[in-house]
Amino acid sequence: MIILAATPIGNLKDASVRLVEALGAVGIVASEDTRVTQRLLAGLGVENRPRLIALHDHNERDRSAEVVELARETDVLVLSDAGMPTVSDPGFHLVEAAAAAGVGVTALPGPSAVITALAVSGLPTDRFTFEGFLPRKQGERMAAFRALAGERRTMVFFESPNRLAAALADLASVLGADRRVVVCRELTKMFEEVRRGSAAELAAWAADGVRGEICVVVDGAAATVVDLDSGVDQVLSLVAAGTRLKDAAAEVAEATGLGKRDLYQAALAARKADAGPAR
């Protein structure tokens, strides 16, 4: 089968017992960078020397079929340079191909920059969304932030240290200078840093230059405060556009903080009133 294995995101001691055991026993490893895998084997003191297959962004689509066929006969361990394969790293197309071919896929869980950053951020963790790497170009980045302007969940991004200041300035421009932001730098490493502040404050801080691996955690948008009548108008507009009443009430409740049941009942009553008496 295909075995997706999480690798340390900074501290080698975070390697799981299961990862070390798998590295010591498996015959084939498909990895994002075979040189990184060789250093991992040496660092963990693993004497096994499996066959290494490069599987990265530029060749994954072409090599997935080959790796899937190998996995029919033997276990294939899949590694990215750090963290869990498929999460902003190679592996998705391979898993997709394996699922289509009926080849089993499992995972050895472990370190995750996304979850680690979220956990230490001090921002709400009950609901969150991971948005991956922000676009490189400013126009596309601004558009991405505009699309997330109403997102209520905590958001987690990856960003290059070279683009961090510009990204935070764009974030402040679109989502608001006061939006709460946490920048997590070099997680689990010697110079780990977690810096909290407003979008504007952190944009000014990053302007002096930042180094290392970066995760950005952003507070979700506050609920829009509207009265029930306005909420009902929004529900009815959605219904007029083709949304089911129940779904429209749930959507407006999520966006405004109003009660879903209250919205549903009031919108239902409004529809009946507009229909007039039966004849």
DSSP string, the chain: -EEEE-B-SS-GGG--HHHHHHHHH-SEEEES-HHHHHHHHHHTT-----EEEE--TTTHHHHHHHHHHHHHHS-EEEE-SSB-TTSSSTTHHHHHHHHHHT--EEEE----HHHHHHHHH-S--SSEEEEEEPPSSHHHHHHHHHHTTT--SEEEEEE-TTTHHHHHHHHHHHH-TT-EEEEEESTTSTT-EEEEEEHHHHHHHHTT---S-EEEEEPPPPPP---HHHHHHHHHHHHHTT--HHHHHHHHHHHH---HHHHHHHHHHHHHHHH-S--
State percent of the chain over pLDDT 70: 97
The CA distance from 80 to 93, in Å, is 14
Greater model confidence, 252 or 100:
100
- Residue 200 contacts residue 192 (beta carbons within 8 Å): no
pLDDT surpassing 60 at residue 277: no
More confident residue, 174 or 222: 174
pTM of the model: 0.81
CB 20 within 8 A of CB 110: no
Tokens 């948008």 belong to which residue? 221
- Average pLDDT of the segment spanning 9-26: 97
Cβ count near 21 (within 10 Å): 12
Q: Is the dihedral of CA 83, 88, 93, 96 positive or negative?
A: positive
- pLDDT band at residue 225 using 50, 70 and 90 as cut-offs: low
Contact 101, 68 (CB under 8 A): yes
How distant is the alpha carbon of residue 138 from its chain centre? 20
Measured CA to CA, the distance from residue 70 to residue 164 in angstroms comes to: 41
State how far the Cα of 79 lies from the Cα of 71, in Å rounded to an integer. 15
Model confidence at 221, pLDDT cuts 50, 70, 90, reads: very high
Residue 278 has a pLDDT of 47
Q: How far apart are CA 151 and CA 129, in angstroms?
A: 9
pLDDT band (50, 70, 90) for residue 279: very low
- At residue 227 the predicted structure's pLDDT band, cuts being 50, 70 and 90, is confident
Mean pLDDT of 74-81: 97
SS3 202: helix
Q: Is the pLDDT of residue 110 over 80?
A: yes
Residue 31: pLDDT above 60?
yes
Q: Is pLDDT at 270 greater than 60 in this prediction?
A: yes
Q: Please state, for a pLDDT cut of 90, what percent of the chain lies above it.
A: 86
